Structure 1
Amino acid sequence: MIPLRRYRLLSIIFAAALALSVTIVWLAPVADAGELCGRADTINIADKRQVVMNNVWGADTLQCLEVDQDGSFEVSHSEHDKRTESAAAYPTIYQGCHWGNCTVGSGLPIKIRDLRSARSSWTIDTTDVDGRWNVTYDLWFHTDANAHRTPDGAELMVWLDRADGTEPAGTLVARNVTLAGALWDVYYADWHWNYVAYVRVRPTNQVDDFELAVFTRDAVGRGYLDRDWYLSGIEAGFEIWQDGAGLSSRSFQVAINY
């Protein structure tokens, strides 16, 4: 996963600090399925084919997740009340590599030019959830095949839903772009890596057989990605600035095809 957004994405000024914090994240112990309240707590799903992480990276406030063995999770508690551009947290489930910590049998990293498809199904519940947050995929790219390190190529986000006027970082560069059967507004920022975000014009809380590769191809065409870079990780979760208790990821799958 920066603007009203993280997003975790930090400004360049905080890039070094973020890299350090991520290193610390992966020193944290892996928890059993159940409740996660530690800032860096993680749970391995299906023999670490996927990982759920609490991922409170931009604030000191408490956040807890309830996680099932199948990888579904809910933000059960949130004390966030952040009013700056960067988010407080990005609770997420991921496949591939997250800042050097990689799952098993993900099919990642893969060179962009070799990626035929990355199809995902994801069901989310945001019913009656207060606060400022978004529902987003977060794709990370390295400039070479070594993904056991901080990403250095790009970050690509696909926002499915948002609350309280949240917006990505960067500049709005295109409106109403047709991709994957919907219309998207496109944002771009040039930081320590390229940042590009696609925001769905009409929000949704469910996608089925959703082709993420079309977004990578569009970003290549805009000059934000290089076809010789590597897609290293696919994450799905919620960037949270304020509240967000009740946000739920009911199911998540992604399949990579060469």
Structure 2
Amino acid sequence: MRIRSALTSVVLTATLGLVAAPAAHPATGPVGAAATTCDSGGSITMGKYWLNNNLWGAGTGSGTQCVSDSYQSGNTIGWSTNWNWTGQQNSVKSYVSSVLGWHWGWKTSGTGLPVQLSANRNVNTGWTFQPNASGTYNVAYDLWLHTIPNPDWSNNPTDEVMIWLYRAGGAGPLGNKVATVSLAGATWDLYQGNIGWEVYSFVRTSNTTSANFNIRDFLNHLRSNRGLSSSKYLTSVQAGTEVFTGGGRLATASYYTNVG
């Protein structure tokens, strides 16, 4: 087990949890066969991505969550997750996501990662989703950075960058607000905190359910304005929902991330 990402807060109350590592025998199946897993740490491989049923904070409450694939077309995928959680309102129960690249180890090939920030490579992404839920949750990207290009299960990140597209029920990020910035055609409040590594959270000032942008723009902002070193490597791009409490569903109609 590893200290988990995306330490998040409700009404500015920070939480801490553990990573649910991928299951030793993950649930897999051909896309189109509607593979589903409800196991903590269960996974479904979708080409260069894999769906991670990461129920890292389940111990702060009770409930269930499942993830299912929908389709894969080239580098574009669709998937969904359903949940029902009770318990501490200010504690994240899960971050069920699509993973590209590292997550305390490597699972798939052809990801285009890692990539050193100094290379200034495009990391283009698009995500269209529909939340149908009550309670407290967010929908966000979670990016991981290391000082080395080949981290394994024993190498914690040095930096974590979240990009919040949608939030409900009072969900708020870790740390303190340090700036308001304009990036990718929108306005974002930037928060910064530390949990043994630096955590930066770009929180969109208005919710959206569809986004297309270059992740490089967010990383370059941190390089220019917050001292993020250009020598570091982007090792992982994850996209999913952090759930605190409540029930519902997040359906991803279309998602891709391409490193070019």
TM-score range, shorter chain: 0.7 to 0.9
Cα 1:255–1:155, aligned 2, differ >3 Å: closer, same or farther? Answer: same
CA-CA distance at 1:68 after TM superposition: 2.1
5+ residue gaps, structure 2: 1-5
| 2:68 aligned partner | 66
Q: Deviations over 1:23-61 (max 9, x none)?
A: x43424233242210011000002xx1101111001143
Which of the numbers 169, 193, 212 marks the counterpart of 2:197? 193
**In structure 1, distance between residues paired with 2:253 and 2:52:** 15
CA-atom RMSD in angstroms:
1.9
- Alignment coverage as a number of residue pairs: 240
Whose strand fraction is larger, Structure 1's or Structure 2's?
2
Q: Which moved more, 1:53-62 or 1:132-141?
A: 53-62
Q: Does 1:51 align with 2:50?
A: yes
Cα 1:183–1:154, aligned 2, differ >3 Å: closer, same or farther? Answer: same
- The one-letter code of the counterpart of 1:44 is T
Which of the numbers 236, 250, 254 marks the counterpart of 1:247? 250
Q: Does 1:30 align with 2:27?
A: yes
Matches within 5 A, 1:1-258: 1-4=6-9, 11=16, 18=18, 21-22=19-20, 24-32=21-29, 33-46=34-47, 49-60=48-59, 61-70=63-72, 71-84=77-90, 86-127=91-132, 129-149=133-153, 150-175=155-180, 177-208=181-212, 210-257=213-260
Query: Is the 8 Å Cα contact of residues 27 and 37 (structure 2) preserved in structure 1?
Result: no
Secondary structure of 2:102's counterpart equals strand
Q: Deviations over 1:83-134 (max 9, x none)?
A: 12x410011002111121342111101111113211101111014x211100
**In structure 1, distance between residues paired with 2:94 and 2:242:** 6
Cα 1:28–1:240, aligned 2, differ >3 Å: closer, same or farther? Answer: farther
- The one-letter code of the counterpart of 1:239 is E
Secondary structure of 2:41's counterpart equals coil
The TM-score normalised by the length of structure 2 is: 0.85
Cα 1:152–1:10, aligned 2, differ >3 Å: closer, same or farther? Answer: farther
Q: Deviations over 1:217-238 (max 9, x none)?
A: 1111233521101000001100
**In structure 2, distance between residues paired with 1:237 and 1:224:** 27
Secondary structure of 1:101's counterpart equals coil
Query: Is the 8 Å Cα contact of residues 51 and 67 (structure 2) preserved in structure 1?
Result: no
Secondary structure of 2:68's counterpart equals strand
Cα 1:10–1:114, aligned 2, differ >3 Å: closer, same or farther? Answer: farther
**In structure 1, distance between residues paired with 2:238 and 2:247:** 18
5+ residue gaps, structure 1: none
Query: Is the 8 Å Cα contact of residues 140 and 231 (structure 1) preserved in structure 2?
Result: yes
Percentage of matched positions with identical amino acids: 29
Q: Deviations over 1:173-223 (max 9, x none)?
A: 112x11111100000002211100000011110013x11111101111233
